[in-house]
């Protein structure tokens, strides 16, 4: 079972909210300041900019810059933009977005409406694959409309379905597969209109900044993380930047992990000597890793990182959109090479090949899946070179015994007791 817990300072507005185990209804949300109108669009955009809020979908792009780009593209094209709440988290180790849509749909819808006001959008979408989350969002829309037409669009769950061009393609009636860039969605997206594709946690934090401008810096420097691995149960936690990775492992229940898989499958592996790194996008990037979507998978002391890397690469290869030949071939080759390490059947030149692929393949696919595979291989070589060498000589007992689990369950959220009345637009 996955737990929830806040590590924030008293008085900090939280995305987890006061009752994370129950879906928040419209009355409760409005009674605590939700859907307020005191903060205007221009003022809110400036507050977001000065707070330094970054996107929580993985790339960490400055939110204010993204909002301005969509607004300005709409002005230049003479078209009304579209806003999309992206709740399709493809990372198997992340649960925050599905939890948010299940537990606090009004917080997300409030943020979506604020983003629409800033960009000048006249319609919005909530994009997801989780049926329970879809049900909670439709119920919330039936309770209280957020001020613009909003449609729920469901998609089959895949690793690449949440990539922003895949989101646009699916809403436009096609498959949830990435497309070549440019154009990017902010230039031409849903129905060819400038489109904001924003992660649901990003939108939730926009709503919190609108409700508590005085706490905007704390809101922007606090984030949801999914902590898993080791012997402890997974934990969805809300934490301020500056916490060490070691302290997060302790909060989950792991006394001293032997490393971690960072940022879902995008930040790569780190060894035990780097658990003193602090949770901060810039600090982690400078150290050669990434916060990504906030999913951290800790290694138990007796767990082999080669087996964990192999499980990650097997997942990525299976989830390839199979649109780019270089991705199909590259992820497959990396998967086979690291898989051979786990069985002690790797060729002597394996480390050289992995190193070459880790530097030559990133940036060559239509999305980030190939980058994640290449980054995982490169990080294994950097963080655990001695283990790579030892796996060339003989099969590893720890690899043979590894279950290789990557998936985390969403924390339980009890639904509201009110009858369900579907008055919102039906999903496509």
pLDDT above 70 coverage of the chain, percent: 97
pLDDT band at 322 (very low <50, low <70, confident <90, very high): confident
pTM: predicted TM-score of the whole model, two decimal places: 0.93
Q: DSSP labels for 372-389?
A: HHHHHHHHHHHH-HHHHH
The pLDDT value recorded for residue 417 is 56
The pLDDT value recorded for residue 395 is 84
Topology of domain 10-219 in CATH is Rossmann fold (3.40.50)
Q: Which residues pair with 22 in a beta bridge?
A: 414
Task: Encode pLDDT of 343-399 as tens digits.
Answer: 888 888 999 999 999 999 988 887 888 999 999 999 999 999 999 999 988 888 888
The pLDDT value recorded for residue 422 is 41
- What's the rounded mean pLDDT across residues 58-78? 94
Task: Encode pLDDT of 111-156 as tens digits.
Answer: 999 999 999 999 999 999 999 999 999 999 999 988 899 999 999 9
pLDDT band at 37 (very low <50, low <70, confident <90, very high): confident
Contact, 217 vs 192, CB < 8 A? no
Alpha-carbon separation of residue 356 from 156, 185, 251, 362, 408 (angstroms): 34, 33, 38, 11, 32
Task: Encode pLDDT of 400-412 as tens digits.
Answer: 888 667 999 999 9
Q: Nearest-CA neighbor of 59 among 198, 194, 158? A: 198
Decide if pLDDT at 425 tops 50: no
> What class does CATH assign to 223-411?
alpha beta
For the chain, the domains span 10-219, 223-411
For strand 260-262 and strand 3-6, is the pairing parallel, antiparallel, or unpaired?
unpaired
């Amino acid at each position: 079972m996955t737990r929830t817990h806040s590590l924030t300072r008293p008085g900090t507005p939280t995305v987890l909210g006061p009752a994370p185990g129950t879906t928040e209804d419209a009355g409760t949300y409005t009674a605590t300041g939700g859907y307020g109108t005191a903060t205007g669009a221009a003022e809110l955009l400036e507050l977001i900019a000065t707070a330094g809020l970054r996107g929580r979908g993985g790339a960490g792009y400055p939110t204010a810059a993204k909002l301005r780009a969509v607004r300005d593209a709409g002005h230049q094209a003479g078209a009304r933009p579209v806003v999309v709440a992206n709740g399709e988290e493809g990372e198997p180790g992340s649960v925050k977005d599905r939890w948010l849509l299940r537990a606090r749909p009004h917080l997300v819808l409030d943020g979506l409406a604020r983003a629409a006001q800033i960009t000048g959008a006249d319609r919005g979408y909530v994009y997801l694959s989780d049926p329970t989350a879809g049900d909670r969002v439709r119920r919330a829309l039936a309770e209280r409309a957020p001020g613009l037409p909003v449609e729920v669009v469901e998609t089959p769950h895949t690793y690449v379905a949440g990539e922003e061009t895949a989101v646009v393609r699916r809403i436009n009636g096609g498959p949830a597969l990435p497309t070549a860039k440019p154009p990017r969605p902010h230039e031409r997206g849903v129905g060819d209109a400038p489109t904001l594709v924003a992660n649901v946690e990003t939108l939730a934090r926009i709503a919190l900044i609108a409700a508590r401008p005085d706490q905007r810096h704390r809101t922007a420097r606090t984030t949801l993380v999914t902590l898993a691995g080791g012997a402890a149960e997974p934990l969805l936690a809300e934490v301020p930047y500056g916490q060490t990775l070691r302290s997060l492992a302790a909060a989950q229940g792991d006394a001293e992990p032997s490393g971690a898989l960072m940022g879902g499958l995008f930040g790569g592996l780190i060894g035990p000597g780097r658990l003193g790194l602090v949770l901060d996008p810039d600090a982690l990037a400078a150290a050669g890793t990434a916060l990504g979507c906030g999913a951290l998978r800790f290694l138990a002391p007796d767990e082999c990182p080669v087996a964990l890397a192999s499980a990650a690469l097997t997942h990525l290869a299976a989830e390839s959109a199979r649109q780019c030949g270089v991705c199909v071939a590259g992820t497959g080759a990396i998967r086979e090479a690291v898989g051979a390490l786990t069985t002690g059947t790797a060729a002597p030149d394996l480390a050289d090949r992995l190193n070459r692929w880790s530097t030559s393949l990133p940036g060559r696919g239509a999305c980030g899946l190939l980058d994640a595979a290449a980054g995982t291989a490169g990080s294994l070589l950097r963080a655990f070179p001695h283990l790579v060498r030892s796996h060339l000589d003989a099969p590893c007992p720890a690899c043979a015994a590894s279950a290789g689990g990557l998936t985390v369950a969403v924390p339980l959220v009890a639904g509201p007791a009110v009858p369900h009345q579907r008055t919102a637009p039906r999903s496509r």
